Every structure is written in structure tokens, then in C-alpha cells.
């Protein structure tokens, strides 16, 4: 076993923060060592919340992403063109080097007709067809958010649109960035890693270890209350929310040390349990999100 | 000769949509708006814990998730008989205000501006095909700068939301009783400081930017009218000591304003991809006694059916007194009397910007009335059986959640979104939805680049993610046979 594999993941995470990765990209682009690569961001069956989350990113921000890091070719929420022209713009990347980012699940019911993302050559284009044709030929495919990685809320029981994650449609490696939504840094630094060093180190479910290595519970600022058995009884309390249904003990993600929206807060600091949105199985396997004593005796 | 225009995707909206329009003599003579995404949230919610609706329903929409947390919380409070404290209401409405600002700023700059302003074409994302860009170079440059500057401002609106809401999109702050955490002084002043910057941006830049567009595209004051029927569930209203800071639930039709009665709301599915025994139904009456009796009916859900011949969209047709209504910023500005210049594509766009300033001012008032450190959470118990509704105006307009609880789980959930009102399909009698009507008569200069249609549709700020999650049930009020 190499020394690297037993290094403390938190220490590693600190060495490779999103900002330092992006700074290196910036420098290398300036020096001409690195070239900008084409990026396509598909929105499929979901809430389009991951592109909104991307706009919430800072250092690097969206402007930096489209100006300095990539040729950002297409996104449904942001492209100036529309209709057939927009579809031609999207498919112009075929035959070139491009990275495919996908948010949203793939609806498979009725041969994919539950989600039509445009019209190509006078025919409706399903999300399913788009993912297949763009996904097989991309240099990298990054699934962003819970829906794209494993179906997420779009595939919640009874899954009326028969949604699946992107990986289920493609015979190739898909880098998974679960989360509802995906934190902008998780995407930006994964992209930066690809631009600089190629594929980042992934776990067995193809999540970058940089972000997904450690349980929330292991780095939770309220961990000492858990260890002492001091538990919150309601939302708004300042102690451990394990008994309110906190999914920190099963969710591997760096929220406690990263935080959200200019790093001002995160769900546990807001006195609510983690609902496990960055874990596979969200939402069905993570519910109920709020209960007032999960360790109560079950009446039979 | 009639020519058909199809625009798909209609980019720069939330979700997936197609516009079909018939053109004669360069004018729209028929139009359809089609929502092309289906998930089925109402069915998914059945059997889940009622508390989870607050987080679950936020996932309907990434740009307006807070709206769904508010509507579901109101429905739960109604069902559980919980009355939030005034401080709780202020805080919740401040969080919602943050989202209004985020939404309106992004909608204006990222979704609307590219229709009117030539953005730098060295960005592939900004490549546009039509040539109807009218601003002189210097003014165009000012708006390009604003496009990029606005990104920092809208981001800071979400930052402000996260200060008390944990994160955005999909916040953790809104909950039964008010919000989850306490507003401490450090958080209050942080929000005030961010809000101050946002207000300055709206006042100094956004207002002049929208009036620049209005000056050079003044023909859009005569395009995109629709029916001129307005509806609002009210917002920032009925505070115990502050009274109404914006508007009460009102409707406007035939030149008359009257008080909204939720009992007049129905939904029709004649032209949407669903089948049911009846094509029109009504959100349930919130009387728990009736609820149990209608339980059998509730469980008979209409099914998604893409083979239904005349159907063309996943969006149903909400109606008030059987009429289509417009909802959103122009409806609110009109109903509250703040802006009555006219009803058109441009008026809708201006009203959204004016409303952004109004919301910032209201938020400031609410912030001034906060008492720090108030806790508002309790250990809540889920009732065995109950029903409740949450009707509230949100960034895009009137949003309603109706729910029933049975055996301590959700047994029924219905959501009618603002975009379902604005982007609705036709009624059973063939009457067009509001946005469809707004497209009628629109002059189209270049049939190969019909930029006029998208401009009008975007003035409604469509959210197709919101509008097409529908999978309904409920009490039926009449019996119109539809295709089996």
C-alpha cells in the first residue's frame, strides 16, 4: 500500500482546494500550457437547480468558467439562441473534443418521451437520445446532482417517469457528483482537475475523493454532543440532531468544512438535520427527513 | 397561406417548452404552448411523512424552491392548526424575499436581456441568430456590463437566503412555525448589508437598463397582451401590526377588482396528456369531515396518457370562474395599483423590475421589525387525519399546495403553480391559455427567426419544471367525458 492511500483525506482536501486548482488552471491557460476545452451542460428531468447552483459559485465564478476555463457551448437556461439553431449549436460539438456535464435524470418511460429537450431535423429529441448520442463520444461525462447520478427526486417512488441516472444509459465511465443541488465547487474543481491533470481520483461509485471521502458525521462541529449523548429535541436546538433523523452519519461529503453560498452556512449550522442529499438513495432511502425521535420504541 | 413556426427548445426558461404558431400575413393567427417534461410529484408525495413535503416539494424547481417550501409549510400549518408567530412570519417572508430578488434579477439579465442586447459573440453561449438588435453601441455596452455585474448581485441574493436558510437552492430554513434557526444580530446585519447592495444595484442599474430596452423596443408595449385577467393569492399582507405591505388576495377581470375566492379555482385536462373519468376538477374543500368520504375518489388518480388525441402538453389548465388568468409581477403591480401603464410584453418586463425594488423595500421594513434571538420551533406531532391548503404568491405568481393527511402520512397532494396558470393549455371549450392568447396577433418580421414569440413567452418567466409535475386527484365537480 502506498503512503498516499493512507493519507488523511481531510489533509488532502485542504491541499487541493477548489480555489488552488482553479488558480493553477488560470496560470497555465495564461502561459499557453493549457487549452480551453468545449463544455456542454445538458439539463434533463429535474428542477434545473444545478445550473442555478453553478451561478451561485464564486472564485471561480460562472464568468470565469465561460471566459477563462472553457468554451461553454450550450445550456438550456442560458443559451442566447433558441429552437433549431440552439440544437445545432448543441450538436456542433460532435466530432470535436468536449466535456459533457449533465444535470437531471433520464426519463425512460414511453421511450423517453416524458422529457423532450428540443427538436432536431423536425423530430422531437428526447433526453434519452441526447444523452446516448452526446454521452458516448464525450471526452468526459460528469453527472451533476442527485437526479443525474442516481435518479434522485425525479426517480422517487413510484418513479412515474421511470427515471434513471446517466450511468444507466452509457457504457462508459461517468464521474458522479451527487448532491441536491451539487455545490458549485464540487463541479468547478472536478472540471479544473480534468483540465489540469485528467480524471480525478474516484471512489468505487465514481465520486471524486476530494469531496466525497469523509462522512459528515466525522467532521461535524456537533460531534462532541453526539459523543456525550446530548441530543436535540426539536429543530433550532444547538446540539446533535441524530435523534431528529440527521443523515450525517451515512452521508459522505464535505459540507461541514466547505459550507454553502459564499461559505456562509450549511444545513446543520441552520439547526436542521442533514437530509442526505449527497448520498446515493436520496430521497427514498434518506426519509423521513424530520422525525422527533428516531430512537423511540416501535409499537407493534 | 398559413405557415407553421415551431420553436423548441425555448431556451432561457426553467424547464422544457415548445411554441407552435400559425402565421398568416406575418401575424400569429394560432398558437400553442407545450410543456415537455413530466415527473409526477403529486403521486410521489403520497405515503411520505407530511414534514418531508417542505424539503421534497422544493425539488420541483431549482430557481424558485423557496416558494414551494413556503406553500407546503402553509398547507401543513393549516392542516395542523399551527399559527406561526409574527416574528416567524417576518423571517419566513424575508427568506422568500431573497428568492424573489434572485429570481427577478436572473430572469431579467440572464433570461430576458439576450433577446434584446447583443452579447459578446466570442462566447459560444451568446451566439444569436436573429438581427433585431436595436441598441446603439454605447448603450448596448452598458447592458452587457450589467449582464455580468448582475451575476454577483443575484448570487448575493442567494447568499442572503443561506444566512438564515442554510443553503440555496433547496433551503433548510423555512418550516412549520416560522424558520428553523434564530435570527441573531450578526445574521440580521449581514442580511441588511447585502440587501443594501442589491437595492442600490436595482435602483441605479436595473431600472435604467429596463427603460433603455423599453425605449428602443417600444413596439412591445403593443404586443403580448393576453386577456388582461389578473389573479393573486396576495403576499406580504395581513401582518398584525404592519398591515399589508404589498397586496391582498385579489382578482381583476372586465375592469373590476374583487376579492379572490379559492373556491372558484378549477383545473381542466382536456388538452393535457392525462386521462380521468372527468376532465375538470377542483382542489378539495379543506373540511376534514368531507375528506374521509372522498378518500375513495382521491385514490383514483388520472393517468398520464401521451396517446390522447387532442392533447399537446403536460401543463393542465387552471381556471378561475372558468376563465384563464395571468399571475405574476404585472398582475401584482396592477392589482396593488402600483403600475397601470398597460398590459403587454414590455409592461410585464418593467413590472418585474419595479417589483424587485418594491420587494427590497418591504424586506428592509421586515428586517427593521425583527427581534433578535427568538426561537419558534416546537416538537410537532403529525395528526392522524387532517387537510390543509397553502396559497401564496411567489416570484412567478400564485402558487397553491393542497394536502391531506391520513394515518399520519400524506394521502393526497395537489400543486397548482404560477406557470400552470400562465402557460396553461386550452379549456374544454377551446379557450386558449393566457400566454397562448398573448401570442395572438404578434407580428413576425422574419419567419426563419421569429424572435418576437420568445420575447413574449419569456415575459411570463415560464417555469416548466414547476408547471408539469402534475398528477392529480381530488373531488370532481362535474362530469365531462374524455377519451378513455
Smallest Cβ–Cβ distance between B169 and the set A61, A74, A181 belongs to A181
Q: Is the pLDDT of residue B483 over 90?
A: no
Task: Answer yes or no: do B172 and A86 touch at CB < 8 A.
Answer: no
Task: Answer yes or no: do B159 and A271 touch at CB < 8 A.
Answer: no
Cα–Cα distance measured from residue A109 to residue B134, given in angstroms and rounded to the nearest whole number: 45
pLDDT at B298: 46
Ordered mean pLDDT values, 10 residues apiece, chain A (300 residues): 57 70 80 84 97 97 96 98 96 97 97 93 94 97 98 97 98 98 98 96 97 98 97 97 96 98 98 98 97 68
Distance from CA of B40 to the nearest CA of A (A): 6
pLDDT at B415: 94
**Closest listed residue to residue B36, CA positions, set A292, A104, A8, A204:** A104
Task: Answer yes or no: do A271 and B123 touch at CB < 8 A.
Answer: no
pLDDT at A180: 98
Per-residue model confidence as pLDDT tens digits over B167-215: 999 999 999 999 999 999 999 999 999 999 999 999 999 999 999 999 9
Helix (H) or strand (E) holding B337: none
Among chain B residues, CA nearest to A66: B123
Task: Answer yes or no: do B40 and A291 touch at CB < 8 A.
Answer: no
pLDDT at A17: 74
Residues of B in Cβ contact (< 8 Å) with A57: 155
**When comparing pLDDT for A121 and B157, which is higher?**
B157
Q: What is the mean pLDDT of residues B126-151?
A: 97
pLDDT at B301: 55
Q: Is the pLDDT of residue B457 over 70?
A: yes
pLDDT at A35: 77
Distance from CA of B460 to the nearest CA of A (A): 15
Q: Is the pLDDT of residue B297 over 90?
A: no
Bridge-partner residues for B22, per DSSP? B4, B30
pTM, whole model, 2 decimals? 0.93
pLDDT at B49: 97
Task: Answer yes or no: do B128 and A80 touch at CB < 8 A.
Answer: yes
CB A75 within 8 A of CB A108: no
Residues of A in Cβ contact (< 8 Å) with B155: 55-58, 61, 261-262
Instruction: Output the CA–CA distances (angstroms, integers) from residue B134 to A270, B140, B218, B335, in the order listed.
Output: 48, 9, 11, 32
Cα–Cα distance measured from residue B18 to residue A125, given in angstroms and rounded to the nearest whole number: 12
Residues of A in Cβ contact (< 8 Å) with B377: 234-237, 271
Q: Give the N- to C-terminal CA distance of chain A in Å, as an integer.
A: 49
Half-sphere exposure of B130 (CA within 13 A, CB side): 24
pLDDT at B299: 42
Number of H helices, E strands in chain B: 15, 17
What is the secondary structure of B118-181 as a DSSP string? ---TTSGGG--------S-HHHHHHHHHHHHHHHHHHHHHHHHHHHHHSSSSS-S-EETTEESS
**Percent of chain B scored above 90 by pLDDT?**
84
pLDDT at A170: 98
Bridge-partner residues for B250, per DSSP? B232, B259
Instruction: Output the CA–CA distances (angstroms, integers) from residue B308 to A215, B18, B40, B271, in the order listed.
Output: 48, 18, 18, 8
Cα–Cα distance measured from residue A100 to residue A174, given in angstroms and rounded to the nearest whole number: 10
Among chain A residues, CA nearest to B455: A82
Cβ neighbours for B141, distance < 8 A, ≥ 6 positions apart: none
Among chain B residues, CA nearest to A158: B44
The CA-CA-CA angle for residues B369, B372, B373, to 5°, reads: 145
Distance from CA of B336 to the nearest CA of A (A): 30
Q: Give the N- to C-terminal CA distance of chain B in Å, as an integer.
A: 36
Among chain B residues, CA nearest to A78: B12
Residues of A in Cβ contact (< 8 Å) with B39: 45, 154, 160-161, 163
Q: Which ipTM was obtained for this model?
A: 0.93
Residues of B in Cβ contact (< 8 Å) with A235: 175, 180, 377
Residues of A in Cβ contact (< 8 Å) with B11: 76-82, 86
Task: Answer yes or no: do B155 and A114 touch at CB < 8 A.
Answer: no
Testing the interface with B: which of A83, A108, A262 to mutate, by most B Cβ within 10 A?
A83
Per-residue model confidence as pLDDT tens digits over B13-50: 999 999 999 999 999 999 999 999 899 999 999 999 99
Q: Is the pLDDT of residue B96 over 90?
A: yes
Mean pLDDT (chain B) is 91
Smallest Cβ–Cβ distance between B127 and the set A52, A57, A89 belongs to A89
**When comparing pLDDT for A296 and B291, which is higher?**
A296
Phi-psi region of B187 (alpha: psi -120 to 50; beta: other; left: phi over 0): alpha
Task: Answer yes or no: do A267 and B167 touch at CB < 8 A.
Answer: yes
**Closest listed residue to residue A185, CA positions, set A255, A268, A274:** A255
What residue spans of B369-417 are helical by DSSP H?
none
Cα–Cα distance measured from residue A83 to residue B450, given in angstroms and rounded to the nearest whole number: 10
3 state SS for chain A: CCHHHHCCHHHHHHHCCHHHHHHHHHHHHHCCCCCCEEEEEEECECCCHHHHHHHCCCCCCHHHHHHHHEEEEEECCCCCCCHHHHHHHHHCCCCCCEEEEEECEEECHHHHCCEEEEEECCEEEEHHHHHHHHHHHCCEEEEEHHHHHHCHHHHCCCCCCCEECHHHHCCCCCEEECCCCCCHHHHHHHHHHHHHHCCCCECCCCCEHHHHCCEHHHHCCCHHHHHHCCECCCCCCCCECHHHCCCHHHCECCHHHHCECCCCECCCCCCCCCCCCCCCCCCHHHCCCCCCCCCCCCCC
Task: Answer yes or no: do B378 and A292 touch at CB < 8 A.
Answer: no
Q: Is the pLDDT of residue B232 over 90?
A: yes
Task: Answer yes or no: do A80 and B16 touch at CB < 8 A.
Answer: no
Helix (H) or strand (E) holding B297: helix B295-298
CB B174 within 8 A of CB B78: no
CB B362 within 8 A of CB B236: yes
CA A242 to chain centre: 25
Q: Pull the grid cell for residue B1.
A: 397561406
Amino acid at each position: 500500500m502506498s503512503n498516499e492511500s493512507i493519507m488523511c483525506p481531510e489533509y488532502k482536501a485542504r491541499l487541493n482546494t477548489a480555489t488552488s486548482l482553479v488558480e493553477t488552471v488560470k496560470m497555465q491557460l495564461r502561459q499557453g500550457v493549457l487549452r480551453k476545452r468545449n463544455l456542454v451542460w445538458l439539463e434533463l428531468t429535474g428542477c434545473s437547480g444545478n445550473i442555478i447552483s453553478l451561478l451561485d459559485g464564486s472564485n471561480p465564478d460562472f464568468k470565469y468558467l465561460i471566459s477563462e476555463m472553457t468554451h461553454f457551448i450550450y445550456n438550456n437556461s442560458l443559451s442566447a439562441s433558441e429552437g433549431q439553431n440552439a440544437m445545432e449549436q448543441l450538436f456542433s460539438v460532435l466530432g470535436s473534443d468536449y466535456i459533457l456535464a449533465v444535470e437531471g435524470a433520464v426519463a425512460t418511460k414511453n421511450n423517453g418521451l416524458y422529457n423532450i429537450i428540443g427538436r432536431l431535423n423536425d423530430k422531437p429529441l428526447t433526453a434519452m437520445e441526447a444523452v446516448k448520442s452526446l454521452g458516448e463520444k464525450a471526452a468526459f461525462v460528469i453527472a451533476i446532482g442527485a437526479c443525474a447520478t442516481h435518479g434522485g427526486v425525479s426517480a422517487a417512488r413510484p418513479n412515474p417517469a421511470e427515471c434513471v441516472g446517466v450511468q444507466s444509459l452509457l457504457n462508459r465511465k461517468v464521474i458522479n457528483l451527487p448532491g441536491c443541488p451539487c455545490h458549485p465547487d464540487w463541479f468547478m474543481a472536478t472540471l479544473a482537475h480534468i483540465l489540469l491533470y485528467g480524471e480525478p481520483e474516484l471512489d468505487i461509485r465514481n465520486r471524486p475523493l476530494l469531496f466525497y471521502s469523509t462522512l459528515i458525521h466525522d467532521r461535524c462541529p456537533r460531534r462532541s454532543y453526539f459523543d456525550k449523548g446530548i441530543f436535540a429535541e426539536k429543530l433550532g436546538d444547538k446540539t446533535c440532531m441524530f435523534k431528529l433523523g440527521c443523515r450525517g452519519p451515512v452521508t459522505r461529503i464535505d459540507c461541514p468544512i466547505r459550507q454553502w453560498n459564499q461559505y456562509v452556512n450549511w444545513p446543520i449550522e441552520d439547526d436542521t438535520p442533514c437530509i442526505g442529499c449527497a448520498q446515493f438513495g436520496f430521497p427514498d432511502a434518506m426519509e423521513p427527513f424530520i422525525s422527533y425521535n428516531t430512537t423511540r420504541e416501535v409499537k407493534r | 397561406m398559413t405557415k407553421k413556426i415551431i420553436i423548441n427548445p425555448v431556451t432561457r426558461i426553467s424547464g422544457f417548452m415548445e411554441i407552435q404558431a400559425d402565421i398568416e400575413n406575418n401575424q400569429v393567427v394560432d398558437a400553442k404552448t407545450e410543456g415537455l417534461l413530466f415527473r409526477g410529484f403529486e403521486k410521489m408525495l403520497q405515503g411520505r411523512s407530511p414534514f418531508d413535503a417542505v424539503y421534497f416539494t422544493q425539488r420541483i424547481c431549482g430557481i424558485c424552491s423557496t416558494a414551494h417550501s413556503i406553500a407546503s409549510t402553509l398547507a401543513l400549518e393549516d392542516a395542523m392548526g399551527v399559527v406561526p408567530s409574527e416574528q416567524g412570519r417576518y423571517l419566513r417572508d424575508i427568506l422568500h424575499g431573497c428568492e424573489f430578488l434572485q429570481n427577478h434579477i436572473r430572469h431579467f439579465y440572464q433570461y430576458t436581456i439576450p433577446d434584446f442586447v447583443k452579447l459578446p459573440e466570442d462566447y459560444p453561449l451568446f451566439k444569436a441568430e436573429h438581427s433585431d438588435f436595436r441598441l446603439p453601441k454605447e448603450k448596448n455596452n452598458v447592458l452587457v456590463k450589467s449582464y455580468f455585474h448582475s451575476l454577483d448581485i443575484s448570487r448575493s441574493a442567494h447568499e442572503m437566503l443561506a444566512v438564515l436558510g442554510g443553503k440555496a437552492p433547496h433551503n433548510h430554513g423555512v418550516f412549520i412555525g416560522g424558520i428553523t434557526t434564530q435570527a441573531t444580530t450578526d445574521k440580521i446585519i449581514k442580511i441588511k448589508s447585502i440587501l443594501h447592495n442589491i437595492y442600490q444595484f436595482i435602483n441605479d442599474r436595473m431600472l435604467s437598463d429596463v427603460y433603455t430596452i423599453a425605449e428602443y423596443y417600444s413596439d412591445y408595449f403593443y404586443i403580448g397582451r393576453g386577456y388582461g385577467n389578473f389573479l393573486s393569492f396576495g403576499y406580504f399582507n395581513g401582518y398584525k401590526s404592519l398591515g399589508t405591505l404589498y397586496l391582498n388576495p385579489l382578482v381583476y377581470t372586465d375592469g373590476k377588482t374583487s376579492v379572490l375566492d379559492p373556491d372558484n379555482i378549477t383545473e381542466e385536462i382536456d388538452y393535457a396528456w392525462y386521462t380521468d373519468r372527468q376532465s375538470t376538477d377542483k382542489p378539495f374543500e379543506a373540511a376534514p369531515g368531507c375528506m374521509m368520504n372522498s378518500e375513495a375518489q382521491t385514490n383514483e388518480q388520472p393517468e398520464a396518457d401521451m396517446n390522447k388525441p387532442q392533447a399537446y402538453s403536460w401543463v393542465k389548465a387552471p381556471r378561475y370562474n372558468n376563465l384563464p388568468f395571468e399571475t405574476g409581477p404585472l398582475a401584482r403591480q396592477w392589482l396593488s395599483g402600483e403600475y397601470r401603464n398597460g398590459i403587454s410584453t414590455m409592461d410585464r418586463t418593467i413590472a418585474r423590475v419595479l417589483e424587485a425594488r418594491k420587494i427590497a423595500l418591504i424586506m428592509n421594513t421586515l428586517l427593521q421589525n425583527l427581534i433578535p434571538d427568538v426561537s419558534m420551533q416546537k416538537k410537532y406531532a403529525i395528526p392522524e387525519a387532517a387537510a390543509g391548503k397553502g396559497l401564496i404568491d411567489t416570484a412567478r405568481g400564485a402558487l397553491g399546495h393542497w394536502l391531506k393527511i391520513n394515518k399520519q402520512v400524506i394521502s393526497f397532494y395537489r400543486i397548482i403553480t404560477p406557470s400552470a396558470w400562465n402557460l396553461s393549455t386550452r379549456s374544454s371549450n377551446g379557450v386558449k391559455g393566457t400566454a397562448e392568447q398573448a401570442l395572438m396577433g404578434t407580428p413576425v418580421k422574419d419567419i426563419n427567426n421569429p424572435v418576437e414569440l420568445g420575447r413574449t413567452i419569456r415575459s411570463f418567466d415560464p417555469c416548466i419544471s414547476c408547471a408539469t409535475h402534475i398528477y392529480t386527484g381530488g373531488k370532481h365537480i362535474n362530469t365531462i367525458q374524455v377519451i378513455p
